[in-house]
Structure 1
Amino acid sequence: MRMKNRVASLALSLLMTSTAALADLKVGVSMAQFDDNWLTYLRESMADKAKSMPDGVQLQFEDARSDVVKQINQVQSFISQKVDAIIVNPVDTAATRNITEAATKAGIPLVYVNRRPDEKTLPEGVVVVASNDLEAGRLQMQYLADKMGGKGNLVIMLGDLANNSTQNRTKGVKEVLAKYPDIKVVEEQTGNYMRDKGMDLMSNWLLSGREFDAVVSNNDEMAIGAAMALQQSGKNKGSVLIGGVDGTPDGLAAVQRGMLAVSVFQDAKGQANGAVEAAVKMAKNEPVEQNVWIPYEQITADNVTSFQARLKQ
């Protein structure tokens, strides 16, 4: 009798385990690159969101290492594994068509996060969760223009030229500059969103004898690199105004210390939560907005501590 009860108990346990496994949703996530600071916060926030969801959501992260072909292969692998949904942080926003077509042909919901594809229209079953990069450029440049008194020389540090986040942030900057004819752009080069590249750019401009009053950078990392190079050259902190984008912990600390005059908060947790929630809803055939926009917010010395508190929540 005891043996029968044990067998019955084991069978029930196996059935419950099997049912639980079936209840779990598997989502494949291809990130443009793992070694980007802000994208690391995005990835970690997605993992945290998945753990907090009651239905059981398994995320399988893959690093595309800034390789378009590798990212397409990762998506094909997700499709072969018959995942319930796919989340993609695109390597190149101009090269997403094959990803979109592969996912929709397989009938698997697709969520693009952080970077919106360049495709003008996306088919049903494809959702974008991102922030409006035009607004980021406008917010940082308006603050700098006010601090400059509407005149002076400006240098621009561009991010990865393969991504429309670079183009749109810079476009937002130039929309504001159109109102200030006495602010002149004297240099505009890419630092590829990297701190060391930002340092190199700034060092080269200083060595060439360039004179400027402000730096507008497409992200915090390059902005911090620029600030470090300026300090190493003997410039007084704050003598050149510097603006970044993202509001990473390092970026917030730089604003607090006066290395950066302004940054713009890009909500990694908000984008992560939106992407995972959209993927789960689509996998369950629940309605989702095709474009989910997470707002940008301006960060200055006056409010930086409130953003630092938010990151700790």
Structure 2
Amino acid sequence: MSTTTPRRRLLAIGGVLAAATLALSACTNSSDDGDGDGNAANAGAGDNAETGDTVRIGFSAPAADHGWMGAITDAAVKQAEAFDDVELVNAEGTNDVNLQISQVETFINDKVDAIVLLPFDGAAMTDVATRAMEAGIPVINVDREFDSPFAARTTVLGDNYGMGVSAGRYICQQADGSTDAVVAEIAGIDSLPLTQDRSRGFKDALADCGLKVSNRVAAEFTVETGERAAANLLQAAPKIDFLWNHDDDQGVGVMAAIDNAGRDEFVMVGGAGSANVMRSIEADDTVLKATVIYPSTQGADGIKLARLIAQGRSMSDLAEVEVPRIVQLAAPIVTKENVDQYMDSAFES
């Protein structure tokens, strides 16, 4: 059994997050040029920005049925448009696994140079992604991981565990040494590994300052389920000091339930980084005081990496001669003090 203390574990996590931030900056921040739209493309600088052989990249993602997913596709398309050596084959977003499998099979038959794939279901898409790899087409897996390491050349991930850590650390700071604060949590879909990772990170971070989750409910990443779950939580918990909601899209419903209940005695932290939440943080006129970023740039990062891999290039800010196999993005906390830094990259819920 490990003898590492919780504080040391979290310090180690901090080092991992810092390294992930470095990897991300090498991929997406190699230029200061841009049009001010965080979801628009940034073509990079140095060797990576030089025009190379034209490559065809197939892109497939789930349907844009909420703000974060819509932002993923928009950012990917804008990123491809920023390069004059990329031809994007953009499949229609779908939540039908069989249709998404068919889309990838079409990419294989058309012999695209690379595939960027955010699976609706990572396990279900593993076989067809593996077939693409076996056909010599590099697959860049975005956000939802495949079941096999052989199904992707490179994987771009958010940091779900890190989201929980960031939310928990912020609450620990706000609690300022109090160990009897009442902490509540509104999770997403409990059966999903991403939700489990977020909750585990949250629990670990709270434990580091002697706090724990007293009341917890799960929603389903929608406005309706967010409102219903929050109403149930507020009824069951007459006193709350801090509340973390995993997802800003479902947070629209959570805020509606809070307003309907007339509750304002607690500090709320959001999750993902929507524009409406950031505007609320900036205005400082609701219980929402912070949110944790889960980047909606992952599809755009996938396009940038697919281009480099298909052209046989590396990331110019790294000494490594190959594009890394895993790029994990950071999960920073956004508050009134730093909201301007993240507003341009926010998505609309």
TM-score bracket relative to the smaller structure = 0.7 to 0.9
Find the counterpart in structure 1 of residue 327 from structure 2: 292
Contact 1:216–1:223 (CA<8 Å) still a contact in 2?
A: no
Q: Distance in 2 between matches of 1:101 and 1:132?
A: 24
Indicate yes or no: 2:87 matched with 1:57: yes
Q: How does 1:158-177 map to 2 (within 5 A)?
A: 158-161=187-190, 163-177=192-206
Q: How does 1:197-212 map to 2 (within 5 A)?
A: 197-208=225-236, 211-212=239-240
1:263-282 deviation line (CA, Å, top 9, x unaligned): 1123333x233211211122
Find the counterpart in structure 2 of residue 137 from structure 1: 164
Indicate yes or no: 2:72 matched with 1:47: no
Find the counterpart in structure 1 of residue 268 from structure 2: 242
**Displacement of 1:181:** 4.3
Contact 1:242–1:262 (CA<8 Å) still a contact in 2?
A: yes
How many pairs are equivalent?
283
Q: Distance in 2 between matches of 1:163 and 1:92?
A: 11
1:169-203 deviation line (CA, Å, top 9, x unaligned): 222111112224443432232x1222221111111
Find the counterpart in structure 2 of residue 8 from structure 1: none
**Displacement of 1:138:** 0.5
Q: Distance in 2 between matches of 1:141 and 1:154?
A: 10
Find the counterpart in structure 1 of residue 173 from structure 2: 146
Q: Which amino acid aligns with 2:296?
A: A
Q: Distance in 1 between matches of 2:238 and 2:123?
A: 34
Q: Which amino acid aligns with 2:310?
A: A
Find the counterpart in structure 2 of residue 109 from structure 1: 138
Find the counterpart in structure 2 of residue 34 from structure 1: 64
Q: Distance in 2 between matches of 1:61 and 1:290?
A: 24
Q: Distance in 1 between matches of 2:158 and 2:124?
A: 20
* C-alpha spacing 1:126/1:113, structure 2 compared with 1 (3 Å): same
1:148-187 deviation line (CA, Å, top 9, x unaligned): 3343333322223454322222221111122244434322
Q: Distance in 1 between matches of 2:133 and 2:344?
A: 40
Kindly indicate whether structure 1 or structure 2 has the higher relative contact order, using CA contacts under 8 Å at least 6 residues apart.
2
1:195 is aligned, of 213, 223, 228, to: 223
Find the counterpart in structure 1 of residue 4 from structure 2: none
1:221 is aligned, of 249, 252, 259, to: 249
Q: Distance in 1 between matches of 2:111 and 2:191?
A: 30
Contact 1:30–1:89 (CA<8 Å) still a contact in 2?
A: yes
1:200-224 deviation line (CA, Å, top 9, x unaligned): 1111233446543322122112233
Q: Distance in 1 between matches of 2:131 and 2:257?
A: 45
**Displacement of 1:24:** 4.4
**Displacement of 1:129:** 1.3
Q: Which amino acid aligns with 2:106?
A: S
**Larger mean Cα displacement after TM superposition, 299-308 or 200-209:** 200-209
Q: Distance in 1 between matches of 2:123 and 2:202?
A: 22
1:282 is aligned, of 272, 284, 309, to: 309
Q: How does 1:15-34 map to 2 (within 5 A)?
A: 24-34=54-64
Find the counterpart in structure 1 of residue 41 from structure 2: none
Find the counterpart in structure 1 of residue 282 from structure 2: 256
Q: Distance in 1 between matches of 2:250 and 2:151?
A: 37
Find the counterpart in structure 1 of residue 33 from structure 2: none
Q: Which amino acid aligns with 2:207?
A: A
Q: Which amino acid aligns with 2:336?
A: A
* C-alpha spacing 1:225/1:125, structure 2 compared with 1 (3 Å): closer
TM-score, normalised by the number of residues in structure 1: 0.81
* C-alpha spacing 1:200/1:130, structure 2 compared with 1 (3 Å): same
**Rg larger in 1 or in 2?**
1
Q: Distance in 1 between matches of 2:108 and 2:86?
A: 20
Q: Distance in 2 between matches of 1:128 and 1:77?
A: 21
Q: Distance in 1 between matches of 2:122 and 2:168?
A: 24
**Displacement of 1:48:** 0.9
Contact 2:56–2:89 (CA<8 Å) still a contact in 1?
A: yes
Find the counterpart in structure 1 of residue 28 from structure 2: none
Contact 1:217–1:223 (CA<8 Å) still a contact in 2?
A: yes
Q: Distance in 1 between matches of 2:344 and 2:303?
A: 23
